[in-house]
Amino acid sequence: MLTLIGVLIVVVGFVLRINPLLVVVVAGLATGLAGGMDLRAVVEALGKSFIESRYVAIIWLVLPVIGLLERSGLKERARELVARIHVATTGRVLLAYMALRQGTAALGLTSLGGHAQMVRPLLAPMAEGAAESRYGELPEATRHHIRAHAAAVDNVGVFFGEDIFIAIGSILLIKGFLEQNGISLQPTQLAVWAVPTAIAAFLIHGTRLMLLDRRLARQSAKAITDVARADDEAATAPEGAA
Amino acid sequence: MISLEFLYVLMGVMVGGVALVNLLTRDNPKRYRNALFWGIYAVTFLVGSRLPSFISGCLAIAMALVASFGGLGHAKGDDAAGRAAREASARRWGNRLFIPALTIPAVTLLGTALFKGLKVNGVPVVDPKQLTLVALGVATLAALAIGMAMLRPPALAPVREARRLLDSVGWAAVLPQMLAALGALFALAGVGRVVSDLAGRWIPLDTALAAVVTYTVGMALFTMIMGNAFAAFPVMTAGIGLPLVVHRFGGDPAIVSAIGMLSGFCGTLMTPMAANFNIVPAALLELPNEYAVIRVQVPTGLMLLATNTALMYLLAFR
């Protein structure tokens, strides 16, 4: 039971919003110590897997070129391009990207997307631009909400697309695990059962994107009537009664 | 043979450059702290493969301490002049700006395909296990070269821009690696075994439906704890999926395990422990709430988990 102390530390730390790096390090040390390792061994294990998992950081190599392009107006251009397409709405832009991401991931092309190389420089400005060209300047909170949705479609698309491809890590992991347990299956037999969930994911999240469009329209209609009402009140108020 | 080590050296040079530029950015009050944080990180890339594990562990702990006590900061961002210049530049370059950006995915794909069979004297040029990552690294270099040739910015612009973006991501850039280390310690201490024992002991599993629900929900919850469905799958499937859903109630193992894994992915949508998918993009998109992406994903995650549970129950026992 004591080995679960790390889980507890993580939950409490994240809820209290203590710096996650610190929370994770403390949870790791506590778990190792509770599991009966000595401090030196725990620090060694921490260091070893920190170094071994450096590959997850390789994605940051895109930052110099993305920054360079942003400095030259890439985001502004992406916004403008979308504003010119009259049928484009935030929800439709995000839906199109999700379809593309899910489709390419199903063909094994999981590297055709990602938050650093596609979402920040291209997708998020496009989704914001589509709303701006319809509703004018957006409130900061709406802008942030749209960006969060842009990050989410990348995740939903790739998670529920990649398992249809037979050579992806998760399918190979399942195959290997079942083999160890005496069940022999071909990757295609597994991948085919990822299809129903893939369709469900597209329908569920796609519906939510269409609802996002309706919400944005409602929000801007309300903002406009609010402004109009404020103008009316200002007009009818007696002069000098500010 | 080109392996990950080549990319690590590139990363080390870039992050080291970010540390130096930070040191020279006078309008950031936390520049020494930022420089120290990125400086240590650069060391783990440049010489990490040769460092004793104990030293690496101490460096990781030091980074966590630098980031949390006093915190990191970044220089003042955008001003009106900067925005006007960008808008002018956007008009000037038009759609050509997309060329370097789209070079990244294009060359990554092309590279992955081309590097596969490439051999000199029977030795593969690129480490066959790391094709995609090496291709990604090559693609970023190609995109940078095209961007520099096209836009002709000052020579230091890429490092300055990397500094701007990496500082806006901040400590979140390192979190996925730290979580991988936590996962390793969880595994060493046997956290998974304890969790599946608890689930098995406390939940009555005498109908197929109860077993299916426990397996799918358990996959999602355990993935949320571990931050990774790959870590949850062997534990939950050995604990509940195979012995109960498959062997006792006669579920089809292909359907049970495929949908079980996807139930784990629903958990991935809902946890800060999957930092590279959920926390890093919030930082990268400069969202004030680090849980903003998770919040958007939770409704989809829950609905899809319910769908997966229903699918497994309806499909696996035909």
**Tens digit of each residue's pLDDT (9 = 90 or more) over B269-296:** 999 999 999 999 999 999 999 999 999 9
Given a cut of 70, is residue B242 above it in pLDDT? yes
Chain A residues inside the 8 Å CB shell of B57: 42-48, 50
Given a cut of 60, is residue B72 above it in pLDDT? yes
pLDDT at B80: 64
CA A140 to each of CA A74, A116, A155, A172, B287: distance values in angstroms, whole numbers, following the listed order: 21, 21, 23, 43, 10
Tell me the C-alpha distance between B278 and B293, whole Å: 6
Query: How far is B243 from chain A, CA to nearest CA, in Å?
Result: 11
- The DSSP bridge partners found for residue B119 are B124
Nearest CA in chain A to B254: A190
With an 8 Å Cβ cutoff, are B112 and A160 in contact?
A: no
Mean pLDDT of B219-248: 88
Given a cut of 90, is residue A234 above it in pLDDT? no
pLDDT at B258: 95
Query: How far is A116 from chain B, CA to nearest CA, in Å?
Result: 7
Given a cut of 90, is residue A211 above it in pLDDT? yes
Given a cut of 80, is residue A224 above it in pLDDT? no
A36, A61, A68: residue with CB nearest B151: A68
pLDDT at A151: 97
pLDDT band at A9 (very low <50, low <70, confident <90, very high): very high
Cβ of residue A174 closer than 8 Å to a chain B Cβ: yes
B53, B132, B140: residue with CB nearest A65: B140
Cβ of residue A206 closer than 8 Å to a chain B Cβ: no
Tell me the C-alpha distance between B233 and B69, whole Å: 36
Interface test with chain B among A66, A84, A128, A180, by most B beta carbons within 10 Å: A66
Element (H, E) at B13: helix B4-24
Q: Largest Cα–Cα distance in chain B?
A: 70
pLDDT at B291: 94
Chain A residues inside the 8 Å CB shell of B44: 50-51, 54
- A55: number of Cβ within 10 Å: 15
If you average pLDDT over every residue of chain A, what do you get? 88
pLDDT band at A242 (very low <50, low <70, confident <90, very high): very low
CA B43 to each of CA A62, B133, B176: distance values in angstroms, whole numbers, following the listed order: 20, 21, 18
Of B45, B37, B44, nearest to B11 by C-alpha is B45
Chain B residues inside the 8 Å CB shell of A45: 53, 57, 181, 184-185, 188
Given a cut of 90, is residue B226 above it in pLDDT? no
With an 8 Å Cβ cutoff, are A174 and B262 in contact?
A: no
Question: How do residues A97-147 score in pLDDT, each as one tens digit?
Answer: 999 999 999 988 887 889 998 999 999 999 999 999 999 889 999 999 999
As given in the structure block, the two tokens for residue A204 are 């569920």
pTM for the predicted model, two decimal places: 0.86
With an 8 Å Cβ cutoff, are A31 and B185 in contact?
A: yes
Of B271, B295, B293, B268, nearest to B282 by C-alpha is B293
CA A104 to each of CA A172, B108, B109: distance values in angstroms, whole numbers, following the listed order: 19, 14, 11
**Angle ∠(A175,A180,A182) on CA atoms, nearest 5:** 95
Nearest CA in chain B to A37: B189
Interface of A with B in 66-85 (CB under 8 A): 66-78, 80-81
Question: How do residues B205-223 score in pLDDT, each as one tens digit?
Answer: 789 999 999 999 999 998 9
Question: How do residues B5-22 score in pLDDT, each as one tens digit?
Answer: 999 999 999 999 999 999
As given in the structure block, the two tokens for residue A5 are 């102390």
**Angle ∠(A53,A54,A57) on CA atoms, nearest 5:** 120
pLDDT at B53: 95
Nearest CA in chain A to B133: A58
With an 8 Å Cβ cutoff, are B182 and A6 in contact?
A: yes
Would you list the DSSP string of B101-157?
A: HHHHHHHHHHHHHHHTT-EETTEESB-GGGHHHHHHHHHHHHHHHHHHHHH---TTH
B68, B195, B281: residue with CB nearest A119: B281
Query: How far is A37 from chain B, CA to nearest CA, in Å?
Result: 8
With an 8 Å Cβ cutoff, are A65 and B144 in contact?
A: yes
With an 8 Å Cβ cutoff, are A24 and B182 in contact?
A: yes
